[in-house]
Amino acid sequence: MSRSSVEGLRDSLSDQGYALVERVGGQRQAVELLQDLGRFVPQYGGTVEHEVVYRPGNDGRAYSQSRNAIRPHTEAPGWRPSPRHLALYCHRQARCGGGHTDLLDWKLLEKLLGPDDLALVTGHRVRFPGPDGGAGVVAAMVEEDGDRAVLRFSHNLLTAADYDPVLDAATPAEELPLGRAGAELALRVAELFDHYRTQVLIPDDALLVWDNQRMMHARSQYEDTGRHLTRYWVAV
C-alpha cells in the first residue's frame, strides 16, 4: 500500500472522522493498510477479525450477526482505552438496499444537544461493562484526554442495560445505568442521529474506517443474508 494512501487515510480521519477507501484490492491489502495505521486490538472472544455476517439464532437481538437495525453507539466502551479506530472491509454488500453503516461526529452532536444533556454526558459516570460482562470502565460518556475528547456511548446500554439486548426489551428504569434520565438522553441522541447522520453503503472491496472515540455509528436493517463484512479494531 502506498505512502500516499496511508497519508490520505490519516488526513480524512483527522478532517472528518472517517474515510472510505474503494477498490482496495482484497482483504489482504485492507489488512496491510490498517497495519500502517496502527496495531490490531483483540475483539470479543480474543480474535482480531470479527465476521459481520448473518448467523441464524440472532434474529431476536440487536447484534452484529443479525439482520436487525443497531442503534447509535461506540465500539467497546468498556475497554480502557476503547479502540481508537474501527474498520469494516466489505466482501459483499447487501443487495436489498439496507445494511448501511451510519456515522455521526461528536463534534456536531455536541452543538445540537441542550445544556442539560451535555451536563449528563460530561458530568455523570456510567459503568460500561468490559469483556464477557466484566468490571469494565466507570467513566463519563465524554472525557477529555489531552487535547481531544473521548466518546463512550451505547443507546442499548442506556435504554436496556445491555449492549446486545433482546428486541423491544422492557427494562425497569431503576436497573438502567442512568435511570430514566439516561434513557431519555439516548432517545434524543437517536433522533438527532437519524436526522444528521452520514449513511454509507460500503461497496464490495472497500474499506470504511472511522475514529471510534469521536464518531457514533449504527446500522440499518437489511434482508440479504449474503451480506459479509469483516470488522477490525485498531489502536494507535
| Per-residue pLDDT tens listing for the chain (236 residues) | 455 678 889 999 999 999 999 999 999 999 999 999 999 999 988 999 999 999 999 999 999 999 999 999 999 999 999 999 999 999 999 999 999 999 999 999 999 999 999 999 999 999 999 987 778 999 999 999 888 999 999 999 999 999 999 998 889 999 999 999 999 999 999 999 999 999 999 999 999 999 999 999 999 999 999 999 999 999 99
pLDDT at 5: 76
Read off the pTM.
Answer: 0.95
| 165 cis-preceded (ω within 30 degrees of 0) | no
**What is the grid cell recorded at 203?**
461497496
pLDDT at 105: 98
H helix intervals, the chain: 3-16, 27-37, 106-112, 115-123, 155-160, 179-196
Measured between alpha carbons, how far is 97 from 107 in angstroms, rounded to an integer? 29
The rounded distance, in Å, linking the Cα atoms of 125 and 142 is: 9
Report how far apart, in Å, the C-alpha atoms of 209 and of each of 9, 11, 117, 126, 234 are. Answer: 8, 12, 28, 27, 10
Q: Rounded CA gap, 179 and 127, in Å? A: 12
Give pLDDT, residue 125.
97
CB 231 within 8 A of CB 88: yes
- Residue 49, CB half-sphere, CA atoms under 13 Å: how many? 12
